[in-house]
Amino acid sequence: MSDVLLLHAGIADRRMWAPQVDALSGAGHRVLAPDLPGFGETPPLPGEVTIPALAEALESFLREHGLRDADIVGSSMGARLVLELARRGHAGATVALSPGGFWTDVQKKVFQASIAASVRLVRLIEPALPTLTGSAAGRTLLLAQLSARPWALPQHTALTELRSLAAAPSVDRALKGLVDGPAQMGLQAGAERAPITIGWGRQDRVCLPSQAKRATELFPSARLHWFDRCGHFPHWDAPAETVDLILRRTGPDAADRPGDRADEAATVN
């Protein structure tokens, strides 16, 4: 049995991983999905919420719980964090899904403005979320930025994630730290201690598919996996494929497993 740590996005909490927790646990993994500081039930960090500060808090968490060899999986901001941990020498396998931080200056400004506007809107309409998420049209209007097929998402998924966004006290500081903090640093080929996999949706409207080129330049040993017909959150649009990728790219023999065509076709849109 291997340990797998799942880190949520910066506009969610640990509940975003509920379907994957069940599937991975059923496959024999011991799965942990904590709330990052300032999200869900975890108190915020004092001061600025930067990627280095969150990474240090995570390193302390891993040491305290005997998880320094755990495989780590992250989504969006959580993906940026697991790549930072890999860069710092984390011993477990790394799977980063739609990581932030590989944008151009213009893309970064668009990201900041669009996500900040979405956060303000969700807070403003929070009382109406049960009604709005109850229809395919409402889910499409609210989640088109994040999903390639928002109308197909279950209402409970949409409602849970939007409510967690509205309630998280550290969303604004985390967004500021992600955009204004230190730039993403890379890792020289062969310097990683365990396999690194980067997953990207071909229809990602938050972290554009073109950013995968920069990601693989900074992490040249990483295997790039493309999710077809998928937006920013593979766990929404391709839940079974997400679980399959995690299972194939984690565990003690992950480095020896062959890739598939989606892994090996590291062409960038």
DSSP 8-state assignment for residue 12: -
Q: Which residue has the tokens 């209402």?
A: 155
Q: Count the neighbouring beta carbons within 10 Å of the beta carbon of residue 135.
A: 12
Question: For the domain that residue 52 is a member of, what is the CATH number?
Answer: 3.40.50.1820
Whether 77 and 174 have beta carbons less than 8 Å apart is answered as yes
Considering the domain boundaries, does residue 254 fall inside one?
A: yes
Cβ atoms of 223 and 259 within 8 Å: the answer is yes
Per-residue pLDDT of the chain (269 residues; tens, 9 = 90+): 689 999 998 888 899 998 899 899 878 888 999 999 988 889 988 888 889 999 999 999 999 999 889 999 999 999 999 999 999 999 899 999 999 999 999 999 999 899 889 999 999 999 999 999 999 999 999 999 999 999 999 999 999 999 988 888 888 888 888 888 888 889 999 899 999 999 999 999 999 999 999 999 999 999 999 999 999 999 999 999 999 999 999 987 766 666 655 565 444 44
Examine residue 207 and state whether it is found in any structural domain, yes or no: yes
pLDDT tens digits for range 16-41: 998 899 899 878 888 999 999 988 88
Tokens describing residue 30: 């011991």
Specify if 232 maps to a domain: yes
Strands annotated E in the chain? 3-7, 30-32, 71-75, 94-97, 196-201, 223-227
Count of the separate structural domains present in the chain: 1
- The CA distance from 235 to 13, in Å, is 13
Taken as a whole, the chain contains a residue count of 269
> CA 210, CA 204: separation in Å to the nearest integer?
10
In a domain, 67, yes or no: yes
**Which of helix, strand or coil describes residue 9?**
coil
Task: Provide the phi-psi class of 237: left if phi over 0, else alpha when psi is between -120 and 50, else beta.
Answer: alpha
Domain that holds residue 234: 3-106+177-264
- Is 142 within the bounds of a domain? no
Within-domain flag for 113: no
Q: Does any domain span residue 141?
A: no
Residue 138 in any domain: the answer is no
Q: What is the pTM (predicted TM-score) of this model?
A: 0.92
